[in-house]
Structure 1
Amino acid sequence: MILGSAAVDLAALLLCILFLAYVAAILVPFLRRRPDPAGDARDLDVHLILPCLDEEVVIARTVARLRSDHPTAHLWCVDDDSSDGTGEILARLAATDDHVHLVSRRAPEARQGKGAALNAAWRRIKAWLATEQPSYDASRVVVGVVDADGRLAPDALDVIAGPAGFGDPSIGAVQVQVRMMNRGIAGRPDADDPAADTRLGRLLVLLQDLEFRTVIAAMQHLRHRIGSAGMGGNGQFTRLVVLDAIADENQTPWHGALLEDFELGLHVLLAGWGNRYCDDTWVAQEGLPRVRPLIRQRARWAQGGMQCAKYFKRVLLSREISTPSALEISYFLMIPWTQLLGTVVYTAATVILGYWATVHPTGVTGWFLEGAWGLVPLVAVFGVGPLVVWGLVYRLRCEPQLSRRAAVGLGLAYWGYTYLMLASVWTGFHRVLRSHDSWAKTSRVLAEPAAADVAPAATPRLSDATRAPATP
């Protein structure tokens, strides 16, 4: 019993030290980073893909904002056999705007996952370019992915065209910062959607914003420095020449993992190109204000990460990926598994401590006073502190109007939030064991269609949906 207890305690301590070291490794460079210079979006030919499945609540507003903020970009809206009015809305917009294109998918080809919808749009973009711009330069064409509820910063295309992005000819893909737009801040273009109705809902949205703009941003900044930034499902941009190269080897650019965005980023690196993360501009999306949909979403991500474990060998043996990048990617691929292991180890350590406390001759109080009190600073340093610090970072780098007290409180809430993520990992693992890989789409937060239903007027024309058959 004593040997088993010592082994569990040692494992728990090693995991804590590893976690603390990783937090320090991503936090320090992130706090020191400085903005990169912007470029000129006119150097790029940008095409944005909007995957749409039952998006009538948000899609018209999204298209209108993208057309207003990025008038030179072409929008490729994939109606993946929606059961609501999404297709009709998109057909109306496409009929009056030559920069809005409708890609209609129907059963049985439709609803085969986001990757399949993106591949359909990629094929349509290539066909359109071959007809409309037969002398196009595929290295200059950039294909972005924006969620149907996404809001892309007005300066985003200029920023990603800069020397830290596509201004560098070796860069194949760029991911921009993600933030939550339903934080309910009046006058802020990235956060002026109504906040959640409940206090818990508002807290959950704020925690997701903190997570993306600090924790994930810091992780991505480290990857940015070594050239291995991961792609996200919203706000990813890739050169067409890179997508074509991936398709030449793998039939299509996007593949079947539930984490198809991260999988794409791996293929970009394996093809010999660099990935970059851009924290100087953003794409905003709806945060989830309820616990169950949030756990379901993160379980899908965790399961997708587990599916990508098949790339371990290719990443480690690839001549195209540097050793630092390969090690960081390997660490990321291990995260769901270390979280599962950590849950078991920490739970076992807690049970063992409880056992010794109850069998101590002088009871729990005596056990605590005779040395167990040292667990309190240990937990504070290795367990709570590395998570609470992100509340202060959030105040420093993102939302300076927060008081220090509120920032600390948000950090403590983030500590509790991580336990929801552990529940998500176990849910995803359960689905892996049962070989389940289908998922119901997460419902949008907005309850009714937005008023901004009409995109800015452009040259009237016959819609692509009328001129071309449905694309599988």
Structure 2
Amino acid sequence: MTAADSWYLVIVGYAIMLAWPVSTLALVSFAVRYAASHRTATVSRSLEHGDGTPQHFWIIVPALNEEVVVGNTVNAALGLSGPGGTLARVLVVDDGSDDRTPEVLAAIDHPRLRVLRRELPEARQGKGEALNAAYRYIAERTASDGVDPDKVVIGIIDGDGQGSRNILLEVSRMMRDTTIGAVQVQVRIRNRDKLLGAVQDLEFGAIVNACQSLRDTIDTVGLGGNGQFTRLSALLALGDAPWSACLVEDLELGLRMHLDGVGIRYTSRASVTQQAVVDLRRLTRQRTRWAQGNIQCVRYLRRLMSSKRISTTSLLEVMHYLISPWINAVVTVVLLGGVTIATAGLLIGHPVPYLQSWTALAASGATWFAVTFFPGFVWALVHRYRLRDETLRRLLIAAAAYPVFLLLGLVATYRAIGRQASGRQAWAKTERLAEEPLPHHLQVALAA
């Protein structure tokens, strides 16, 4: 290998390492400077297409063994109201629970609550099938009542989720534009007093928020499993089962809507909170499921590339979202392999051309260390600037732990590839943590 080749490898290696912090700064710049102005533009644009303001709201709560959280979730959902005091109806899909979930639900006596109990063998076929059952129930009720499906919005709040008080008002504001068929709200973590919870809130409250805001400007917003709101008419256009058996049924639904030309918007003015997974083993399992679902959705790339409804910019962003985890996994292996070979060469007295001394290896290691830790601290500052509901000290501690969180994501990616290659699809449900019940005064108000 010539000296020129050696320098070429060094330059390429540093370029790969620096690409992440540079892209982080670019995304932060967008999130801070342009997100607010785009929200204003979105409101102005909504006035150009008539009045699509929803008049009816259904909140679906998929529940499988949710006894420790479903009471709070249902009571919170029953307290949500939209424009003009419009109240949401809540439909809980009990997907074959064998804990005390049925008893907890039976104890909530409210005229706007419906419970759809699914028994085996239909039950426990995945969250997508549970949502489809609820969707078909709502579609039948809507048709029998003679209601325009364009005016009906279905929201998904998970068994541990709680929507902000303004969530239906904000969704209605976004859906005044008749071209908008779905809205995704911001997701936050409720139990962020623990370190893993704080890191996950840093992820959702800062990083995911910035990514979704960017996608909002180029019409590539992705739907999440929690806090997604869709017009019934947009779901009806997808047939009898809009949600699939994909392990990330929300991501696939969003891709199908984009292919149908349905507008999807994101808002950080409203939010839904959920529980963090605070056990490393369970968190790895959750992220492996997400990664495997991402693999399953790669099959849509061909249709996206041939679609005339998807702009080049939108296509590139979707491709980046679907493919980047696997590129990161490969690049990490390449970089680790290069460092391992360089270290071995120095130990046996035959240094490789691109790292010929321990000093050069140490300099590369210091750069790698800085690159790994830098983005987390930047996002901690963004979180503090935007939300102001956590101390800077706690955010900086979460930022210091963020690289370990990323390493866990890489492990999940490799596991997902193995699971998909071996045809394994079954998953154990994510466990919930017990919480204090809603305040008594709120429960009294809901019962009124």
Residue aligning to 1:30: 31
- Please report how far the alpha carbon of residue 258 of structure 1 lies from its aligned counterpart in structure 2 after TM superposition: 0.4
Residue aligning to 1:268: 257
8 Å CA contact 1:65, 1:455 repeated in 2: no
Q: Distance in 2 between matches of 1:206 and 1:98?
A: 37
8 Å CA contact 1:57, 1:450 repeated in 2: no
8 Å CA contact 2:53, 2:176 repeated in 1: no
Q: Distance in 1 between matches of 2:318 and 2:101?
A: 38
8 Å CA contact 2:75, 2:446 repeated in 1: no
SS of aligned partner of 1:161: helix
- Please report how far the alpha carbon of residue 90 of structure 1 lies from its aligned counterpart in structure 2 after TM superposition: 2.3
Listed one character per residue, the Cα deviations across residues 96-116 of structure 1 (whole Å, up to 9, x for unaligned) are: 322111111111111000000
- Please report how far the alpha carbon of residue 424 of structure 1 lies from its aligned counterpart in structure 2 after TM superposition: 1.3
8 Å CA contact 1:57, 1:449 repeated in 2: no
Match of 2:171 among 153, 157, 160: 160
Listed one character per residue, the Cα deviations across residues 252-295 of structure 1 (whole Å, up to 9, x for unaligned) are: 11111101011111111111111111111110001111111111
Q: Distance in 1 between matches of 2:383 and 2:31?
A: 12
Structure 2: gaps spanning 5 or more residues: none
Code of the aligned partner of 2:358: F
SS of aligned partner of 1:30: helix
Code of the aligned partner of 1:161: S
1:19 corresponds to 2:20: yes
Q: Distance in 2 between matches of 1:318 and 1:42?
A: 29
- Please report how far the alpha carbon of residue 175 of structure 1 lies from its aligned counterpart in structure 2 after TM superposition: 0.6
- Please report how far the alpha carbon of residue 456 of structure 1 lies from its aligned counterpart in structure 2 after TM superposition: 5.6
Residue aligning to 1:368: 358
Q: Distance in 2 between matches of 1:252 and 1:58?
A: 27
Change (3 A) 1:360 1:337: same
1:446 corresponds to 2:434: yes
Match of 2:148 among 128, 137, 149: 137
Change (3 A) 1:58 1:28: same
Residue aligning to 1:215: 207
Counterparts of 1:65-214 in structure 2, within 5 Å, are 65-70=76-81, 72-93=87-108, 96-131=109-144, 133-134=145-146, 136-162=147-173, 165-183=174-192, 195=193, 202-214=194-206
8 Å CA contact 1:339, 1:425 repeated in 2: no
Q: Distance in 1 between matches of 2:369 and 2:36?
A: 31
> Percent identical across equivalent pairs?
35
- Please report how far the alpha carbon of residue 82 of structure 1 lies from its aligned counterpart in structure 2 after TM superposition: 0.5
- Please report how far the alpha carbon of residue 418 of structure 1 lies from its aligned counterpart in structure 2 after TM superposition: 0.9
Structure 1: gaps spanning 5 or more residues: 184-194, 196-201, 460-472
Alpha carbon RMSD of aligned pairs, Å? Answer: 3.0
Change (3 A) 1:455 1:317: farther
- Please report how far the alpha carbon of residue 348 of structure 1 lies from its aligned counterpart in structure 2 after TM superposition: 0.6
Code of the aligned partner of 2:138: I
8 Å CA contact 1:64, 1:456 repeated in 2: no
Larger relative contact order (CA 8 Å, sep ≥ 6): 1
8 Å CA contact 1:98, 1:458 repeated in 2: no
Counterparts of 1:188-337 in structure 2, within 5 Å, are 195=193, 202-247=194-239, 251-337=240-326
* Range that drifts further, 336-345 or 107-116: 336-345
Counterparts of 1:376-455 in structure 2, within 5 Å, are 376=365, 378-380=367-369, 382-399=371-388, 401-403=390-392, 406-446=394-434
Q: Distance in 1 between matches of 2:447 and 2:394?
A: 47
- Please report how far the alpha carbon of residue 223 of structure 1 lies from its aligned counterpart in structure 2 after TM superposition: 0.4
- Please report how far the alpha carbon of residue 373 of structure 1 lies from its aligned counterpart in structure 2 after TM superposition: 4.5
SS of aligned partner of 2:149: coil
Code of the aligned partner of 2:380: G
TM-score by length of 2: 0.87
8 Å CA contact 1:306, 1:336 repeated in 2: no
Code of the aligned partner of 1:204: L
Listed one character per residue, the Cα deviations across residues 61-109 of structure 1 (whole Å, up to 9, x for unaligned) are: 211122123370011100001001212332443xx32211111111111
Listed one character per residue, the Cα deviations across residues 199-222 of structure 1 (whole Å, up to 9, x for unaligned) are: xxx110000000001111111111
Residue aligning to 1:469: none
Q: Distance in 2 between matches of 1:8 and 1:209?
A: 37
Change (3 A) 1:270 1:41: closer
8 Å CA contact 2:52, 2:176 repeated in 1: no
Q: Distance in 2 between matches of 1:146 and 1:41?
A: 23
